[in-house]
């Protein structure tokens, strides 16, 4: 471990310098410069169509915080995140546990089926679901004998998007939890069964705590990706009815590339970045505190 | 007895969940063989009563879908191959070398994964418009040549390559470029397949960036093509079913064939999370 090669060869230095300088140039162009540009842009009135780029201080931010659609989109995003992450974790864990059980046959088959929606392109899937929610001939109403105009009823539109997203993404959680379950040490279970623990106790006190790293990974990656969700909104509702399905990332898309308010959209996108960071830190903190 | 009941209950639950997962795909596939009149009929049947290929034929006549399909495959392949290579070589340097500033660089790489698309896309759009790269495939490739996820995965992978192996090759007089290309690169099959799968999918389903960059219709990618089709023929449900089937079914077929690798790849990406 502590043995160090005394001399770095010339080719190693070359390799390091070439590869790292290309990587650094790439990151400067595609990450650092953009973040600086967004920061600056959020302080300007910025419209690329007519070439406006005028300093207005924090006006974009004050406008943002007094704009009801912004708060509506934040509220929707938080609701969307909480529900989808919750069901993704519950379904993912439950189904992974069932598939992993000694009693289950055709494990590979089930695994393959559950992961299928995850590998399909979201835009296409969203169109299929859009027709599935059709009140006249859509599959959902037909199967459950309902009469709901899902995407045009402000009470049901956001839940409809959440249901589609859960369906699309739960398989990813299943696979992650399955690989987590497979990597658990078997000796814990042996001693638990010797101690006479029942299935629920074993699950609650042994499996669950051991799966915490997987859980954390699923929760954090889910939150990060759902804060960025816009495709279902774009395809299925365009934010409507009213503003009931505006998600914050869709608001950025709308403000930036429909209205061309680049400065204003920059301010909103920075807010999403801050939110992402906060959620990530909270998740890690929550995982850490449960340990004690 | 109790065991048997439990076993059957489990099986039934899994089958129900499986059915719910597959049903939308099945419905889409079957409906793509129905006429519009049948799709919109009050009395629905799951199987098409008068199966027809009309939707597919009309689709291709009105809208060059196969072209979009080919474009998407081309761009996804190019980007995926580039990302595999850059991820491996960056992963090798970051995983195996010791040098000043390494942690800083790796930290920024990790940050690229956390920064939302909405933050970078506005400046990137401005830069690409200024650089005159609108409507050029370069604009779909350049921003995605490096992947934070890929570099992270390969760094983990590279750390598992034994140092003794590298030392032996160095003693034999191989230089670092040879070691990387001939020895290390082939050793990382698992990591590579995970990156390949994810990257391909990401390019395949990316909507916004190709929508912003590509102007000419015949250069457009599949995801954008779908929305254009829907914009123009919003009530042609049969056509939309055919279009979505064309963009989903091949992916499912490839997935079912390679499902083992897919799933191993996903799992590998998370274990060290």
State the angle between helix axes of B222-232 and B65-96 in degrees (0 to 180), rounded to the nearest 10: 150
In chain B the first and final C-alpha atoms are separated, in Å, by 41
Chain A within 8 Å of B39 (Cβ-Cβ)? yes
Task: Using a CB–CB cutoff of 8 Å, tell me whether B12 touches chain A.
Answer: no
Supply the pLDDT for residue B196.
85
Task: Please tell me if residue A273 touches chain B, with a CB cutoff of 8 Å.
Answer: yes
SS3 A204: helix
The confidence score (pLDDT) of residue A4 equals 52
Question: Which residues are CB-neighbours of A286 under 8 A, at least 6 positions away?
Answer: none
**Does residue B203 form part of some domain?**
yes
Structure ipTM: 0.88
Asked if A248 and B138 touch (Cβ cutoff 8 Å), the reply is no
Pairing of strands A44-47, A52-55: antiparallel
State the nearest Cα–Cα gap between A87 and chain B, in angstroms: 14
Q: Token pair 């009693």 is at which residue?
A: A103
Residue ranges, comma separated, of all CATH 1.10.3720.10 domains in chain A are 68-290
Buried b (16+ CB within 10 A) or exposed e, A180-201: bbeeeeeeeeeebeeeebeeee
- Asked whether residue B26 is assigned to any structural domain, the reply reads no
Contact A128, B244 (CB under 8 A): yes
CB spacing of B24 vs A277 below 8 angstroms: no
**Which residues have a Cβ under 8 Å from the Cβ of A132 and sit 6 or more positions away?**
A138, A139, A140, B24, B27
How is residue A64 written in tokens?
Answer: 């943002």
Tell me which H or E stretch contains B77: helix B65-96
Rounded CA separation A203/A210 (Å): 10
A101-153 pLDDT tens trace: 888 888 889 988 998 998 899 999 999 999 999 888 888 888 888 888 888 98
B122:A37 CB<8 A: yes
Give me the CATH number covering residue B160: 1.10.3720.10
Other CB atoms within a 10 A radius of the CB of residue A26 amount to 18
In the prediction, which pLDDT does A248 show? 93
CB contact under 8 A, B116 and A123: no
For chains A and B, what is the number of CB pairs under 8 angstroms? Answer: 256
Q: Can you give the pLDDT at residue B254?
A: 79
Instruction: Note the pLDDT tens digit of each residue in B97-120.
Output: 888 899 999 999 988 888 999 999
Looking at the predicted structure, is the pLDDT value of residue B44 above 80? no
Quick one: which of A8, A140, A12, A123 has its CA closest to B244? A123
Q: Which residues in chain A (50-89) have CB-CB distances under 8 A to chain B?
A: none
Q: What was the pLDDT predicted at B269? A: 61
- How far, rounded to the nearest angstrom, does the alpha carbon of residue A167 sit from its chain's CA centroid? 14
The minimum CA-CA distance between A252 and chain B, rounded to whole Å, is 7
Over residues B153-178, the pLDDT tens digits come to: 899 888 888 888 888 998 888 888 88
- The minimum CA-CA distance between A221 and chain B, rounded to whole Å, is 9
Q: Is residue B114 part of a domain?
A: yes
What stretches in chain A show pLDDT beneath 50? 1-3, 6, 291-292
d(CA B246, CA B29): 9
What is the assigned CATH class of domain A68-290? mainly alpha
Q: What is the pLDDT of residues B176-231, one digit of tens each?
A: 888 999 888 888 887 888 788 788 888 988 999 999 999 888 889 989 988 888 88
C-beta pairs of A101-109 under 8 Å, 24+ apart in sequence: A101/B10, A103/B3, A103/B6, A103/B7, A103/B10, A104/B10, A104/B11, A104/B14, A105/B11, A108/B259
- Contact residues for B190 (Cβ-Cβ < 8 A; gap 6+): B157, B264, B265, B268
User: Taking the C-alpha atoms of A102, A104, A108 and A110 in order, what is their torsion angle to the nearest 10 degrees?
Assistant: -140
Residues in chain B: 273
Residue found by looking up tokens 């609108």 in the block: B134
CA distance, residue B215 to nearest chain A CA (Å): 14
Banded pLDDT at B49 (limits 50, 70, 90)? confident
Residue of chain B whose alpha carbon sits nearest to that of A13: B176
Condensed to tens digits (0 to 9), the pLDDT of residues B120-147 reads 999 999 999 999 999 999 999 999 999 9
CB atoms within 10 A of CB A281: 11
Q: How many CB atoms lie within 10 A of CB A96?
A: 25
Is B263 in contact with A115 (Cβ distance < 8 A)? yes
Environment class of residue B90 by beta-carbon count within 10 Å: exposed (0-12), middle (13-18) or buried (19+)?
Answer: buried
Would the CB atoms of B177 and A15 count as touching at under 8 Å?
A: yes
CA distance A248 to A271: 9
B246 by DSSP, 3-state: which?
helix
d(CA A255, CA B70): 32
Q: Residue B194 CB: number of other CB atoms within 10 A?
A: 25
| Contact predicate A184/A175, CB 8 Å | no
| Domain membership of residue B231 as a residue range | 52-271
Q: Is residue B2 part of a domain?
A: no
| CA distances from residue B131 to A50, A237, A262, B37, B126 in whole angstroms, order as listed | 18, 34, 18, 49, 9
Query: Does the structure show a pLDDT above 60 at B90?
Result: yes
Contact between A269 and B122 under an 8 Å Cβ cutoff? The reply is yes
Q: Is residue B41 part of a domain?
A: no
B23 contacts in chain A (CB < 8 Å): 139
d(CA A258, CA B31): 33
Crossing angle between the packed helical segments B237-257 and B54-62, to the nearest 10 degrees: 100
As for how many domains chain B has, the answer is 1
């Amino acid at each position: 471990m502590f043995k160090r090669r005394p001399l770095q060869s010339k080719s190693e230095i070359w390799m390091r310098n070439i590869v790292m300088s290309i990587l650094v140039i790439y990151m400067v162009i595609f990450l650092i410069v953009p973040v600086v540009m967004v920061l600056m842009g959020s302080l300007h009135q910025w419209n690329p169509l007519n070439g406006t780029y005028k300093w207005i201080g924090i006006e974009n931010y004050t406008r943002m915080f007094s704009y009801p659609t912004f708060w509506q989109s934040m509220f929707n995003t938080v609701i969307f995140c909480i529900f989808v992450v919750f069901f993704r974790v519950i379904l993912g864990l439950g189904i992974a546990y069932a598939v992993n059980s000694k009693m289950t046959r055709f494990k590979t088959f089930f695994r393959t089926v559950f992961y299928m929606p995850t590998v399909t392109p979201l835009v296409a899937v969203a169109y299929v679901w859009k027709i599935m929610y059709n009140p006249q001939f859509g599959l959902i109403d037909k199967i459950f004998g309902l009469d709901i105009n899902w995407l045009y009823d402000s009470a049901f539109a956001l839940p409809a998007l959440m249901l589609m997203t859960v369906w699309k993404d739960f398989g990813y959680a299943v696979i992650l939890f399955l690989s987590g379950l497979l990597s658990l040490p078997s000796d814990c279970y042996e001693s638990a069964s010797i101690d006479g623990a029942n299935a629920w106790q074993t699950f609650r006190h042994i499996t669950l705590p051991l799966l915490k790293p997987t859980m954390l990974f699923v929760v954090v990656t889910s939150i990060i990706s759902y804060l960025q969700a816009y495709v279902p909104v774009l395809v299925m509702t365009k934010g409507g009815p009213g503003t009931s399905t505006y998600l914050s990332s869709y608001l950025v898309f709308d403000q930036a590339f429909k209205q061309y308010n680049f400065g204003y959209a920059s301010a909103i996108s920075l807010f999403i970045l801050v939110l992402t960071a906060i959620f990530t830190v909270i998740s890690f903190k929550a995982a850490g505190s449960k340990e004690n | 007895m109790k065991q048997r009941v439990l076993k059957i209950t489990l099986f039934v639950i899994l089958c129900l969940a499986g059915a719910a997962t597959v049903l939308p795909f099945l419905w889409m596939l079957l409906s793509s063989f129905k006429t519009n009149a049948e799709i919109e009929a009050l009395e629905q049947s799951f199987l098409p009563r008068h199966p027809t290929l009309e939707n597919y034929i009309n689709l291709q006549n009105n809208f060059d879908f196969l072209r979009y399909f080919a474009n998407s495959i081309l761009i996804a392949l190019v980007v995926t191959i580039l990302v595999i290579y850059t991820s491996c070589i960056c992963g090798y340097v970051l995983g195996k070398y010791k040098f000043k500033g390494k942690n800083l660089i790796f930290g920024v790489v990790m940050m690229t994964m956390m920064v939302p698309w909405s933050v970078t896309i506005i400046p990137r759009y401005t830069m690409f418009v200024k650089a005159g790269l609108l409507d050029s495939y370069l604009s779909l490739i350049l921003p995605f040549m490096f992947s934070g996820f890929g570099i992270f995965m390969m760094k983990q992978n590279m750390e598992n390559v034994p140092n003794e192996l590298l030392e032996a090759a160095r003693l034999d007089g191989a230089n670092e470029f040879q070691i990387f290309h001939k020895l290390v690169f082939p050793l990382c099959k698992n990591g590579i397949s995970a990156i390949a799968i994810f990257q391909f999918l990401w390019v395949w389903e990316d909507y916004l960036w190709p929508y912003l960059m590509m102007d000419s219709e015949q250069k457009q990618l599949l995801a954008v093509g779908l929305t254009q089709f829907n914009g123009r023929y919003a009530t042609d449900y049969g056509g939309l079913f055919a279009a979505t089937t064309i963009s989903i079914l091949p992916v499912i077929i490839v997935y079912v064939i390679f499902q083992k690798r897919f799933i191993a790849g996903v799992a590998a990406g998370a274990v060290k999370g």
